[in-house]
Amino acid sequence: GEDVEQSLFLSVREGDSSVINCTYTDSSSTYLYWYKQEPGAGLQLLTYIFSNMDMKQDQRLTVLLNKKDKHLSLRIADTQTGDSAIYFCAELNQAGTALIFGKGTTLSVSS
Amino acid sequence: NAGVMQNPRHLVRRRGQEARLRCSPMKGHSHVYWYRQLPEEGLKFMVYLQKENIIDESGMPKERFSAEFPKEGPSILRIQQVVRGDSAAYFCASRTGFTGLETQYFGPGTRLLVL
């Protein structure tokens, strides 16, 4: 079945780069997403990548997609304390009717 | 352009009562999704609706849960006879109806607590 896996925690120092990794199982996924959730809040769309792309860059964010290994990563350059949050990886399901989410990676940024 | 609106933001119910959660999609969006987030978990898909139609309800529990998206007004997720296990954050998302624009935008959620 469709499944998305993420590591649960990442701790970095302010100014360093953060890399959050995700693996997914459905090779037919067309869209893959990264969402950010701050405590008590909803999900904020950070970025997405279409399956025919290998990389997408948007300011401090870089998304890398390795379709062969079904691996997705989100790199945050110059990580700030305001980046502390839970980051969710998600894929669009095969039917195109729902997002399949990972359990989220809690990013902790220390000054 | 207002984002996805959900109300109430917090809802407390006693076991056996009914919970009604409302979602107003972004302007111009005709597709609505409901997800549930249990503590320390990711979001799980519940149901996908277009105006007056349920497209996919494969994630909905078979009993006590129902959803609608009428021609006029918000989408409603209704939970009858709530139990403690229903305590969770319920998120609504919406998107346009255009093929190729699949991105879902999320509301702030309704946090349901069942006592």
Q: Convert the pLDDT of each residue in A12-34 to its tens digit.
A: 999 999 999 999 987 777 889 99
φ, ψ (nearest 5 deg) of residue B50: -115, 175
Interface test with chain B among A3, A29, A101, A103, by most B beta carbons within 10 Å: A101
Q: What is the mean pLDDT of chain A?
A: 91
The answer to whether the CB atoms of A42 and B44 lie below 8 A apart is no
Separation CA A100–CA A80 (nearest Å): 28
Please give the residue of chain B at the shortest CA–CA distance from A106: B40
Six-digit token pair at A7? Answer: 């590591």
Q: In DSSP terms, which residues pair with A53 in a beta bridge?
A: none
3-state SS, residue A82: helix
Q: What is the pLDDT of residue B11?
A: 98
In chain B, % of residues over pLDDT 70: 96
C-alpha span between B53 and B64 (Å, rounded): 19
CA trace torsion B94, B96, B102, B105 (10° rounding): -30
Task: Determine, for residues A97 and B108 on separate chains, whether the beta-carbon distance falls below 8 Å.
Answer: no
Widest CA span in chain B: 43
What's A83's DSSP letter? G
| Segment of A43-47, B7-11, B98-102 carrying the highest mean pLDDT | B7-11
Using a CB–CB cutoff of 8 Å, tell me whether B18 touches chain A: no
Between A72 and A41, residue with greater pLDDT = A72
The answer to whether residue A59 scores a pLDDT higher than 70 is yes
B17 inside 8 A of chain A by CB? no
Question: How many degrees, rounded to 5, is the angle at CA B47 between CA B73 and CA A86?
Answer: 100
* Residue whose C-alpha is closest to residue B33's, from B102, B110, B94, B85: B94
Check CB contact of B41 with chain A, cutoff 8 Å.
yes
Residue type, B67: A
pLDDT over 70 (residue B83):
yes
pLDDT score recorded for residue A96: 81
Look at residue B100 in the predicted model and tell me its pLDDT: 61
pLDDT at site B1: 54
**Among candidates B45, B56, B108 on the partner chain, residue whose Cβ is nearest the Cβ of A42:** B108
Q: Kindly state the tokens that stand for A87.
A: 């980051």
Question: Which of A2-11, B77-86, B98-107 has the weakest average pLDDT?
Answer: B98-107
Mean pLDDT of A42-69: 92
| Percentage of residues of chain A with pLDDT beyond 90 | 72
Using omega within 30 degrees of 0 as the cis cutoff, is the peptide bond preceding B8 cis?
A: yes
- Could you say which residues from 82 to 101 on chain B have a Cβ atom under 8 Å away from some Cβ of chain A? 91, 93
pLDDT at B101 over 80: no
Closest Cα partner for A42 from B75, B37, B106, B103? B106
CB < 8 Å to B41, chain A: 103
Tokens of B54: 């349920």
State mean pLDDT over B24-52: 92
Distance CA B93, CA B52 (A): 16
Q: Which of A78-92, B28-42, B68-82 has the lowest mean pLDDT?
A: B28-42
